[in-house]
Structure 1
Amino acid sequence: MQADPRAQRLLAMPEEAYMNDEQLAFFQARLLAEQAEVEAHLDEVRKAVADNERSGDELDRAAVEEELRLLLRQADRETRLLRKIAQALRCIEAGDYGYCAETGQPIGLARLMLRPTAELCLEAKERQEKREHHYSKLRGDQ
């Protein structure tokens, strides 16, 4: 897969240029495009749920109910993603985008290219995941 030339140019910038106007504009455009895409998909899901027929035999209804359950789970995930996108856009406006919410250190362009809604730098995210894993073991989830 060929990388976006604009993204490659941003990644080639020196560290001192971190979160300059060009980088912020790139991420803002990317977040807005992702927001529009997710909102369009959520509209499709809403229409599918509204258009759901309740007729048919028991097996048809079971299949439709299972499909609806999966659609609603996906819609829930996408709704949470929309909140993260909105938060990231607010951070861009506030001048805080690209910096770890826990440590204040740069998150890094490469990580933000993969996950533009990232709020934690890699080290902070690893610590968070270790804590979550530790607590899930204490609860007996594993």
Structure 2
Amino acid sequence: MTVTLPQDYRPSEDEPFMNENMKEYFRQKLLSWRSELLRESDETLAHLQEGGLQEPDIADRASAETDRALELRTRDRERKLIAKIDAALERLLDGSYGYCEETGEPITIRRLEARAIATLSIEAQERHERMERTHRED
């Protein structure tokens, strides 16, 4: 079954949670985000293949090398983000998307809008972060 969203559709708290329109909205949002990350990754790859570090000045060469390292580190983070997007798309398929992994309660629309790959409600995320801080300080 294919759902066609109205052009100006935005999920709201007034409609049934994770109805077909809402699922399609977040599916499109996740796919668009994934596509953008892959495009940026392709651009980075092309940029890195353009040529080696041919800078004659050692300071320029060091600066270029630092830029490349930063770009590669950013792409590595984005690679991990793509895996999280893929996991969110899987959750959309199995019906668990939008529900907190810890409590099973719905994650708010505002949180999903801000972080479409969220797996925890704000409350559960805050508890998780508090636990991390307490254990890190030990």
| Amino acid across the alignment from 1:36 | S
Structure ranking higher in helix proportion: 1
The equivalent of 1:13 in structure 2 is: 14
Separation (CA, whole Å) in 1 of partners of 2:26 and 2:32: 10
Contact 2:53 2:65 survives alignment (8 Å) = no
> 1:49-108 CA distances to partner (integer Å, 9 max, x unpaired)?
222422222112101111011101110111111011000000001111100111111111
Separation (CA, whole Å) in 1 of partners of 2:104 and 2:78: 27
State the Cα distance separating 1:5 from its structure 2 match: 4.2
Any gaps of 5 or more consecutive residues in structure 2? 1-6
Contact 2:13 2:109 survives alignment (8 Å) = no
Separation (CA, whole Å) in 2 of partners of 1:118 and 1:12: 17
Separation (CA, whole Å) in 1 of partners of 2:89 and 2:76: 20
Separation (CA, whole Å) in 1 of partners of 2:116 and 2:9: 15
Any gaps of 5 or more consecutive residues in structure 1? none
TM-score (norm: length of structure 1): 0.86
Q: Secondary structure at the match of 1:133?
A: helix
The equivalent of 2:52 in structure 1 is: 53
Identity rate, percent: 34
Matched, 1:23 2:29: no
| Amino acid across the alignment from 1:38 | L
For the aligned residues, what is the CA RMSD? 1.4
Q: How does 1:37-48 map to 2 (within 5 A)?
A: 37-48=36-47
The equivalent of 1:93 in structure 2 is: 93
TM-score (norm: length of structure 2): 0.89
